[in-house]
């Protein structure tokens, strides 16, 4: 006789899935087409059919431990072929959004950043911090002379705000990922064919080329957009680290001259980010015959990254044009988007990178990874 299973549906969870972009979840009638067409679904326990019924039944705890939700890379081949218009790709996206919040530490940060209606609050927080610091230290005015941003907002103050907060965010993110990994192991077992280190390195190497995106049929062009955004961030991260060395070790004052190769890297990084995010937005708005709808969470993130890139480029262009009254306020606005991107990292869409890396690593360790 089959084992009996007692279900205790979490009604609030089902409502949450529908509100986060999975409003079509109840349409699924379990035909299994999605699991067949998904290019990365394993033969053993395929997805996303089972996730659809688990979401319909409000099985939150089982879904929280799922590696499949994060292994999915949102290509939407499943949504294209779903005969019921249940949009399984979007339902998995809604689950990812909810679980970023669920695993977040502290929880209230997840509640603020994953809620598009509170984006204005999330942006107001750094702006208020900056204005208070500038006001207290007597820097809340446009400096005279050549435009040098550190004359307005000294680097030491910027670092005194960012370094502790980014450090705390990093610790919070590690705690969240640790909780996910422990749940993953507890529920899915630990019969591994590969050790964590080897599987993780393989995963990171795969990330560098975004190999799984080439398996998509419906949304193949997402790979270029993602690579541009990814490497744009990598270039800007390298330049930010270099700036610390430039200021403190070399004892020079930024901005870096236009002739410096690091400046070229910074500008290429900003352009790559801008082009990549414009492609992401164009892909979302383009009709491709796929039944899909981007959630408010996805749109918020895309717009924040777009504004991050635009304000970064304007900060440089306006400085070069010598318009002091515009340059300094633009720098402040740009710093606000920088804050959102790096301090809220564990709670925004960017957080998916860590969860996805662990899910892929787990797949490799259990021998289920689709090459």
Interacting residues with ligand SF4 (CB under 6 A):
28-34, 38, 40-41, 47-49, 52, 72-78, 82, 84, 86, 88-89, 92
Minimum CB distance to ligand SF4, residue 271 (Å): 29
Residues ≥6 apart with Cβ < 8 Å to 148: 253, 254, 255
User: What is the Cα Rg of the chain in Å?
Assistant: 22
Query: Least distance in Å: CB of 69 to ligand SF4?
Result: 9
Distance CA 311, CA 165 (A): 22
What is the closest distance, in whole angstroms, from the C-beta atom of residue 68 to ligand SF4 in the complex? 8
By C-beta, is 40 or 123 nearer to ligand SF4? 40
Of 34 and 358, which has the nearer Cβ to ligand SF4? Answer: 34
Query: Nearest distance from residue 225's CB to ligand SF4, in Å?
Result: 16
| 75 CB-contact burial (10 Å; exposed 0-12 / middle 13-18 / buried 19+) | buried
- Give min distance, CB of 71 to ligand SF4, in A: 8
CA distances from 177 to 44, 171, 248, 301 (A): 25, 10, 33, 20
The three state secondary structure string of 338-362 is: HHHHHHCHHHCHHHHHHHHHHHHHH
B/e letters for 20-41, b = 16+ CB within 10 Å, e = fewer, are: bbbbbbebbeeeebbbebbbbb
Looking at the Cβ atoms of 73 and 223, the one nearer to ligand SF4 is 73
Nearer to ligand SF4, 334 or 364 (CB): 364
Nearer to ligand SF4, 101 or 356 (CB): 356
């Amino acid at each position: 006789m089959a084992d009996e299973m007692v279900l205790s549906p979490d009604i609030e969870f089902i409502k949450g899935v529908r509100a986060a972009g999975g409003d079509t979840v109840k349409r699924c009638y379990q035909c299994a087409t999605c699991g067949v067409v998904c290019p990365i679904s394993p033969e053993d326990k395929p997805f996303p059919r089972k996730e659809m019924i688990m979401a319909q039944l409000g099985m939150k705890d089982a879904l929280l431990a799922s590696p499949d939700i994060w292994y999915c890379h949102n290509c939407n081949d499943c949504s294209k072929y779903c005969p019921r218009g249940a949009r399984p790709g979007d339902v998995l996206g809604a689950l990812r959004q909810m679980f970023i919040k669920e695993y977040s530490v502290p929880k209230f940060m997840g509640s603020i950043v994953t809620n598009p209606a509170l984006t204005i609050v999330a942006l107001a927080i750094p702006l208020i911090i900056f204005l208070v610091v500038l006001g207290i230290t007597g820097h809340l005015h446009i400096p005279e002379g050549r435009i040098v941003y550190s004359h307005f907002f000294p680097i030491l103050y910027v670092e005194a705000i960012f370094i502790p907060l980014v450090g705390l965010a990093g610790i919070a993110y590690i705690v969240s990922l640790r909780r996910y990994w422990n749940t993953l192991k507890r529920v899915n077992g630990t019969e591994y064919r590969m050790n964590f280190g080897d599987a993780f390195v393989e995963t990171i190497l795969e990330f560098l080329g975004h190999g799984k995106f080439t398996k998509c049929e419906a949304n193949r062009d997402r790979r270029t957009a993602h690579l541009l955004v990814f490497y744009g961030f990598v270039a800007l991260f390298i330049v930010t680290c270099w700036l610390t060395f430039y200021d403190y070790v070399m004892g020079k004052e930024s901005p870096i001259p236009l002739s410096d190769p690091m400046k070229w890297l910074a500008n290429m990084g900003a352009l790559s980010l801008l082009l990549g995010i414009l492609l992401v937005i164009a892909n979302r708005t383009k009709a491709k015959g796929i039944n899909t709808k981007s959630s408010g969470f996805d749109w918020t993130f895309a717009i924040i990254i777009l504004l991050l890139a635009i304000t970064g480029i304007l900060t440089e262009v306006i400085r070069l044009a010598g318009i002091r009254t515009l340059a300094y306020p633009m720098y402040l606005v740009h710093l606000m988007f920088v804050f959102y991107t790096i301090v809220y990292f564990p709670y925004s869409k960017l957080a998916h990178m860590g969860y996805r890396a662990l899910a892929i690593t787990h797949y490799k360790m259990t021998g289920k990874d689709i090459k």
